[in-house]
Amino acid sequence: MSSVELKNIVKRFGGFTAVEPTSLTIAEGAFVTLLGPSGCGKTTTLRMIAGLLDPTEGEIVIGGRRVNDVPIHRRNLGLVFQNYALFPHKSVAENVAFGLRYRNVPRDEIARRVCEALELVQLPHVADRYPKALSGGQQQRIALARAIVIEPDVLLLDEPLSALDAHLREDMRVELKRIQQRIGVTTVFVTHDQSEALAMSDEIVVMSNGRVEQVGAPADVYNTPASEFVARFLGASNILEGQCLSRGPEGAEMEVPVFGRVRVPAARAPHLGGAGAAKLVIRAEKLLLREAPPTANSPENGLISAPVTIETVDYQGQAARYFLRAGDRQLQAINMIDERPFAAGASVHVTIRPQDCAALPG
């Protein structure tokens, strides 16, 4: 069953089109992330689902009901924003209970549901405190408790973790996903953070300049990008312009700089047409650095190797990011560190597996 359906929605502000015609179906109970850079239209799309903005064109359907003309307070949605929007003069329990009191829920049931919501976010002991006495992570959990206590049909989250420090952010994304899975609520999450989208989502909607670039499971979007924008925005990628020499049911034969002939499996080249200009996408972590080339640079061992020089080393603790020079080309590789990283200026070999590559039209 679909929980949320967008049917060719468009949003214009005067002569500016913030969201191009967009259609999207979100399954019941799914965790879907709208991912993209600032100004791509993701928050505008979320605000249209919420009823905070009216679409210029198209229809929004929630639970099988068209809601274009339904005000926000009648859509039964849970909302969590970046700034949490807690009432500073109300206690935690009063903040969480606000939506229930607005709906005229009996007092006894309010007390029970507030208690359950605070237990769910693991903060039952702060009911009598005020927001100013809570940490940022605790405030974020209270905002989440207030959103879910009303038992919403859809939970809308607009960059809810962006105000937290990096370590707490990682903890909270795990916690948020745990809560979502436990209550089974359909969730639409907005972020510009790739790691959040990959870690939390059942499905990712990548947006750019008001358009949807790609929709798919995290692994599919990451490993088989539909466009150069997706390849560059989601992770660190090397993109080599070359030629598709032939395309068959088993894959595409490509000729690219640095690595020469590469046969890309069909599953990793669904967006590629026939012969002609093409691009090879290789994720940075798929480039393996070695002091010496593999014993045989042949199709039998499935490895393709090329000599490179390390220009810069970006030490990251367990891993290092290397900027490499191969003739007039610069590549980047991210490798785990066994003992110590390779040094800048070292001559090494970079090795790839064709099955780790993806192909795009040129």
113: pLDDT strictly greater than 70: yes
Do residue 196 and residue 266 come from a single domain? Answer: no
| Residue whose tokens read 């014993």 | 295
For the chain, the average pLDDT equals 92
Note the pLDDT of residue 82: 84
Dig out the tokens for 74 from the structure.
Answer: 């009648």
Residue 219 burial (C-beta neighbours within 10 Å; 0-12, 13-18, 19+): exposed
Share of the chain above pLDDT 70, in %: 98
Average pLDDT score over residue span 92-101: 94
136 SS3 class? helix
Total domain count for the chain?
Answer: 2
pLDDT of 302 reads 76
Q: What is the mean pLDDT of residues 14-19?
A: 96
Does residue 230 fall inside a structural domain? no
Q: Is residue 132 part of a domain?
A: yes
Look at residue 262 and tell me whether its pLDDT is greater than 50: yes
- The CA R_g of the chain, rounded to the nearest whole Å, is 24
Residue 325 has pLDDT above 90, yes or no: yes
Q: Are strands 186-191 and 154-158 parallel, antiparallel or unpaired?
A: parallel
Three-state DSSP at 339 gives coil
Residues 42 and 144 in one domain: yes
In 184-217, alpha helices (H): 194-200
- SS3 category, 297: coil
Confidence of residue 300 (pLDDT cuts 50, 70, 90): very low
CA-nearest of 62, 15, 24 to 45 is: 24
CA distances from 168 to 45, 117, 179, 356 (A): 27, 21, 16, 33
| Distance, first Cα to last Cα, the chain | 38
**Structure tokens of 233?**
């925005």
Does 184 fall in a domain?
yes
Count of other CB atoms within 10 angstroms of residue 138: 18
202 and 99, same domain (yes or no): yes
57 versus 102: which is more confidently predicted?
57
pTM above 0.75, yes or no: yes
SS3 151: coil
Look at residue 345 and tell me if it is in a domain.
yes
Last residue of one domain, picked from the residues 165, 188, 223: 223
At residue 340, the pLDDT reads 82
Tokens of 18: 């913030």
- pLDDT of 359 strictly over 60: yes
**Residue 197 scores a pLDDT above 90:** yes
Mark whether 176 and 285 lie in a shared domain. no
Domain housing 190: 2-223
> 296: pLDDT confidence band, cut at 50, 70 and 90?
low
The two tokens of residue 160 are 């809810």
Length of the chain: 362
Instruction: With a cut of 80, say whether residue 174 has pLDDT above it.
Output: yes
Question: Does residue 219 sit in the same domain as residue 291?
Answer: no
Both tokens of 315, joined, read 């030490």
Q: What is the pLDDT of residue 299?
A: 46
Question: Which domain-ending residue is among 196, 223, 250?
Answer: 223
Q: Say yes or no: 69 and 207 in one domain.
A: yes
Distance of CA 132 to the CA centre of its chain: 31
Q: What is the mean pLDDT of residues 207-233?
A: 96
Q: Look at residues 197, 223, 249 and tell me which one is the last residue of a structural domain.
A: 223
Mean pLDDT of 319-328: 94
**Does residue 20 lie in a domain region?**
yes
For the chain, counts of helices (H) and of strands (E): 8, 20
Give mean pLDDT, residues 3-17.
96
**One domain, residues 80 and 216:** yes
Identify whether residues 214 and 68 lie together within a single domain.
yes
CATH of the domain at 35: 3.40.50.300
Alpha carbons within 13 angstroms on the beta-carbon side of residue 175 total: 20
Q: Is residue 229 part of a domain?
A: no
Q: Is the separation of the CB atoms in 280 and 262 below 8 Å?
A: yes
pLDDT in tens, 73-96: 899 999 998 888 899 999 999 999
